Amino acid sequence: MGINTKNIYNQNKKEGKDLLVKDQIENVFKTHPAYGHRRLALELKMNKKKIRRIMKKYHLKPPRLWYQKKYLTKPNFKYQNEFNNLIKEIKFPKENEIWASDLTYIKFKDMFIYLSAVCDISNNEVVSCNLGNRHDSVLVLKTIKEAIKKYNQLPKYFHFDRGTENLNENCINFFKDNNIQGSCLDKV
C-alpha cells in the first residue's frame, strides 16, 4: 500500500509532552492571567520558543492582556438617580434645543480608538466629534466644548446614556455651570 509501518504503530511522543505543557500553561494562567510566552517560560523553567510553539499550536492566549486595558472614568454613584429622561415628552424639538452624545470604540491595529460625537436631535446633524485614546469624560467634554464654540450657543437639554463618562463629576459640573439640563436614558 505504500504506507510506512512506523506511522501506524508508533504514536508521536511529542504530542503527549505538548499536552502536559499545555496543562501547565493553563494552570499558570489561573494565577497569572497576563503572562505571555516569556514570563511563562521563566515560570515553568522551559525554553520560550517551546512555550510559544505550544501556545500557537493550541491557540492559547493570556486571559487578560495588559495592552488591551480599556481606560474608563470612575462614575460617581450619587448621580445615578439624579437624571431622568426629560426629552421623551418633547415631540418637535427646535434646532439646537436638544443635543445628544454617545461614545463608541473603533478597533484599529490591535488597539482601541474612541469616538465621541454630539448630535442635534432636531435634524440629526453631527454637531461635533472627536477621537481619543481613552474612554473618559475628558473626551466627552472636549467634544461638547467644541460644539458650543462652533455654534456659539448652548443647548437647553443635553441627552446622554448612563455611561461612566457622562455621569462623571466633571461633566455634571459643566452642565450645572452652564445651565444645561441633563437628560438621561431611563434605567433598563
The per-residue pLDDT for 70 is: 55
Query: Residue 126, class by beta-carbon neighbours within 10 Å (0-12 exposed, 13-18 middle, 19+ buried)?
Result: exposed
The per-residue pLDDT for 22 is: 94
For domain 77-184, give the fold: Nucleotidyltransferase; domain 5 (3.30.420)
Q: Is the pLDDT of residue 67 over 90?
A: no
The residue to which cell 434605567 is assigned? 187
pLDDT digits (tens, 9 = 90+) for 148-161: 898 888 888 888 87
Residue 7 amino acid letter: N
The per-residue pLDDT for 79 is: 63
Residue 51 amino acid letter: I
For 149, list phi and psi in degrees, rounded to 5. Answer: -65, -40
Task: Give this prediction's pTM.
Answer: 0.56
Residue 150 amino acid letter: K
The per-residue pLDDT for 52 is: 94
